[in-house]
Homo-oligomer: A and B are copies of this chain.
């Protein structure tokens, strides 16, 4: 299992077919291409200047939209994950 550090989040990519069925269409953009994913694991939060950790806004199981070129790809046991910072997550699909 992957336990992300700081304000990082481990994401499982949601396939394009799945995206269509949920009615979300994400158009290509020259600047940043959003994508959909599912949160698998959440870090302890960024270290603040007062020594505490900032509360994370996302939790395991959240469906999120993030910037396409953000994060680092990792494969584990046949699954493809993405490790990114919470600041690269644009919104949660509620």
- Residue numbers of A with Cβ under 8 A of B are 1-6, 8, 10, 23-27, 29, 31-32, 34, 41, 44, 46-52, 54-55, 57-58, 65, 67, 69, 72-77, 83, 86-87, 89-94
**Across the interface, which residues of B come within 8 angstroms of A72, CB to CB?**
29, 31-32, 34, 67, 90
**Across the interface, which residues of B come within 8 angstroms of A27, CB to CB?**
73-75
Are A93 and B1 neighbours in the complex by a CB distance under 8 Å? yes
Q: Closest CB of chain B to A3's CB: distance in Å?
A: 4
**Across the interface, which residues of B come within 8 angstroms of A31, CB to CB?**
69, 72
> Given known contacts A74-B26, A91-B83, is B47 in contact with A49 (CB within 8 Å)?
no
